[in-house]
Amino acid sequence: SAVISQKPSRDICQRGTSLTIQCQVDSQVTMMFWYRQQPGQSLTLIATANQGSEATYESGFVIDKFPISRPNLTFSTLTVSNMSPEDSSIYLCSLGGEYADTQYFGPGTRLTVL
Amino acid sequence: QKEVEQNSGPLSVPEGAIASLNCTYSDRVSQSFFWYRQYSGKSPELIMSIYSNGDKEDGRFTAQLNKASQYVSLLIRDSQPSDSATYLCAVNMGAQKLVFGQGTRLTINP
């Protein structure tokens, strides 16, 4: 199976700033996704990162707050913009596996906003 | 009504016993179901997928699916302390969109 890496693994940021999270895969994959896991909560899908086109966002998530790039089939970034303490979460990228709907997760980025 | 529901636990099981984790879902047309294990501070790890009614076994793990009842479960036989984790049920709601339950925290007591 593909190896997924995320950078940074964790960060502490100030309110009002932005952070860009990188997700790198060691092989080409069609489907990449970004999730958020708030403290003590389950995972919520933010968006599907589409290669060469705009990301598809889920209800409650907007491009201005969470811009996503997917320049090729091995890389994607998620930016958390104008952060507030409510954005403190673990952000995870995932990719589709051997079946289109099987997903595997990266190690995650633990974000704390002060 | 939540789309995917799990008992949040904690569920405490003695070592060597069978741990039974349950999940119900709301969308009758869902076709794909997954169990993930998440250790504290780690990302979710896929342990089982199931697509057809009935049982699917993989080592000490058995997934059970009943589409008529909209119910999926995970059995862990011969539970070990290393099985202590949060178990997340996920359902494909279409277009590769996975919806996760709240997770059940499982503790195996030596």
Q: What parts of chain A have a pLDDT lower than 70?
A: 97-100
d(CA B9, CA A69): 38
Which of A46-50, B22-26, B95-99 shows the lowest per-residue confidence on average (mean pLDDT)? B95-99
CB of B11 within 8 Å of a chain A CB? The answer is no
Identity (one letter) of the amino acid at A112? Answer: T
Average pLDDT of chain B is: 93
Nearest to B23 by CA among B104, B86, B97: B104
With beta carbons under 8 A apart, name residues in chain A contacting B33. Answer: none
Which residues of A lie inside 8 Å of B (Cβ-Cβ)? 31, 33, 41-45, 48, 58, 90, 92, 96-97, 99-108
Q: Is residue B27 predicted with pLDDT exceeding 90?
A: no
Amino acid A50: pLDDT: 85
CA–CA distance, B35 with B29 (Å, rounded to integer): 18
Q: Give the closest residue to B76 by CA, choosing from B91, B45, B85.
A: B85
Check CB contact under 8 Å for A43 and B88. yes
Task: Identify the closest residue of chain B to A41 by CA–CA distance.
Answer: B102
> For the residues B75-83, what does the mean pLDDT come to?
97
How far A83 CA sits from the closest chain B CA (Å)? 22
Q: What is the pLDDT of residue A97?
A: 67
* Residue-wise pLDDT tens digits, A13-22: 999 999 999 9
Which residue in B4, B36, B38, B43 has the most chain A C-beta atoms within 10 A of its own C-beta, making it the best mutation to test that interface? B43
Nearest to A81 by CA among A111, A39, A41, A51: A111
Helices (H), B1-110: none
Identify the residue whose tokens are 């995972």: A43
Our CA-based measurement puts residue A15 at a distance from the nearest CA of chain B, in whole angstroms, of 24
| Residue contact A41–B102, C-beta within 8 A | yes
Instruction: Give the pLDDT score at B36.
Output: 97
pLDDT over 90 for what percent of chain B?
A: 82
